[in-house]
A and B are shown apart, each in its own frame.
Chain A
Amino acid sequence: MKEKTTSVSSLLIKGGHLIDPAARVDAPMDVLLKDGRVAEVAPPNKIRGAADEKFDARGLMVAPGFIDLHVHLREPGQGHKETIATGTAAAAAGGFTSVCTMPNTAPVVDSAEWVEWIRQPERGALVNVFPIAAATRSSKGVTLTDFASLQRAGAIAVTDDGKPILDDAIMREALVLGGELNFPVVQHAEDTRMTENCSMHAGARSFRLGLRGMAAAAEASVVERDVQLAMQIPNARLHVAHVSTADALKGVRRGKRAKARVTCEATPHHFTLTDEDMRDYDSNYKMNPPLRAASDLEAILVALADGTVDAIATDHAPHALHEKQMEFERAAFGITGLETALGLAITKLHREKRIPLVRVVELFTAGPARCFDLRGRGSLARASVADVTIFDPKKKWKFEVATSLSKSRNTPFDGWQLQGKVVATIVGGRIVHSA
């Protein structure tokens, strides 16, 4: 996997098949990018005029740049796991042109200063980074942060991810204030009073392994409460992170039917693996929310297909080897995911479950762009930002973690045969990754 950074003012992507769900395009199209914007989209060979560079996309799919609503880039403070530079390099390799970073760093990103720090060019980001700020001070769940100043500094949402906003009054306050500012509140739905000392899903497997299990109800009950609040509070925007259970999806559906502004995301690992897949206390299968029952996985597949789930998000959560290679119950929660997301989505959703490629692309583009109002992104309509992901949906390849651009190696997918590979990632008209 080599990286190439080419700076050109205009780039013509020729001969590809454009999938742009937001613009309802699914046809052979050439795309001209100019000065960081989409200048023209036209049927093959119809674009006149010279481009500084051409990209031969014959046999390939051309899509709006992928957006990942949920990544942990670990800066500030945890550069031994990942940095903004390494994390965004992995994002580019996975076809993501924009990533939304979680605030559970050291210190927690709960001030305008830290939001700005993340966005500084010195961080060396290879793709667009949209900070999500903490919803409460130090994410302790007690006092709301200054949403307005965080928003002005460039935060696109607030969350206490890694932990829930558990207190009813605080969650209500967050949704009220978020509603006034048109600021999404992202919830890590877990009633932690029910999950103390738990390290996997509560089921036959956790019982057999002697591990304390997280009940599915610990997720569903929080989603249920939040959706109720979102239905009551004018303009409130609730985004449910990493939905993992059938019951939580029921709550999301109820909110959507009531026309509340409720969105949600699902991760590739939750639509690929179940709690039964963990072997030998392998901590690369330990994440929060945990891998769930087969019936939950089936419910997620249905929800991905029918539109209940708005976006595929990776919850990329890198950890150093020594933080994972330990007793399962003591090992850190989380797995990396940026470089395997597209391959898993095409393999599991499109090839195995026959979900149309257009829908899969929507889950990586228009869907997430809508969740957080990322204007000018998630589509390649004329004048959009020139973020493009070019991929080969037929290409079979083997993911080898040794070649990962992430600083960390904690993935259960090492050695997996996948279908669907990123060929090029273009950010603002510049090719930042090409395979």
Chain B
Amino acid sequence: MNPDRPRPLLKGKRVLLLFYEASTRTRSSFEIAAKMMGAHTILIQATGSSIEKGESLLDTGYTVRAVGADVIVIRHPNAGAPQLMAQHIDVPVINAGDGMHAHPSQALLDAYTILRNKKSFKGLQVAIVGDILHSRVARSSCHLLSKFGVKMILCGPQELVPEIAATLAPGIRVTRHVEDALRGTDVVMLLRVQKERLSGLKIDLPEYIARYQMTPARLRMAKKDAVVMHPGPIIRGLELTSEIADGGQSRILEEVHNGVPTRMAILARAVGRMR
């Protein structure tokens, strides 16, 4: 989908953005994607709606359906919330991120970004460095990329990258050493330490920075033409330095940019007239 020459595939459709959790990139790019294809968008956030008054997830779903939603885009802090919605509401439900479980539209836009920078997925090695445990992006990317035979390396301390992470999909390896993760790697994906999800877990941040922060020196261990990605929000000085964030190998803003056409495609496939 070319965002510069949009087609009105969603003309007259009502796209309901149901956001139970804070979001900048995902929300704005779904909204822009929908509007560019001619849809009406309605944003409902947890604060300032009946959700605050204790309305259940399903009742909110039935209500927005009754209002006339043609598709529901949902972001929720609980894993599985979009699935529950989809089981009971008879319009397409798009998962815009649920708890620590999945963030499929992010994985798709990341895959799209990789394809715009690399010839194909064939033989590719992708290292994800950071807080895998709490990351729905990491889980979705592992599922998607491993389906195309991408070799995945997950890297971080035990507390954030448990061994069990290797069972997510075939072809995944876990390592504690960033050098090991970077050697021969084509794509370096960085993740933020999700302080809001630590739930009592203690992480020694100076230690984390010392061992895992992406710096120009470390990035040189990856392939020469390696690209750096990050689903955002980035925390400069923590998982990466400004030199990396703003450097020539960074594709972080390209990812954000690619979010719009990717989400246009998702919406068009869900409710577009082209079907």
Contact = CB atoms under 8 A, between A and B. Distances in A.
Interface string A172-206: 00000000000000000000000011000001100
A208 interface: yes
A207 B57 contact: no
Interface residues of A, number: 19
B79 A209 contact: yes
A327 B81 contact: yes
Interface string A319-336: 000100111111000000
B164 A204 contact: yes
Contact of B84 (A209, A210, A212, A327): A327
B168 A208 contact: yes
Interface string B82-101: 01100100000000001111
A73 B200 CA distance: 34
A327 B136 CA distance: 17
Interface residues of B, number: 26
A270 to B, nearest CB: 21
B78 interface: yes
Contacts of A203: 164
Contacts of A329: 78-80, 99
B63 interface: no
B58 A210 contact: no
A208 B78 contact: no
A280 interface: yes
Contact of B87 (A197, A208, A280, A326): A280
Interface in A264-313: 280-281
Contacts of A212: 100, 199
Interface string B148-172: 0000000000000010110110000
Contact of A208 (B58, B167, B200): B167
B84 A207 contact: no
B199 A210 contact: no
B165 A322 contact: no
Interface in B24-61: 56-58
Nearest to B98: A210
Nearest to B135: A210
B102 interface: yes
A211 interface: yes
Nearest to A206: B164
A281 B164 CA distance: 20
Given A281-B79, A281-B83, A330-B78, 5 more contacts: A203-B164, A204-B164, A212-B100, A327-B76, A328-B78
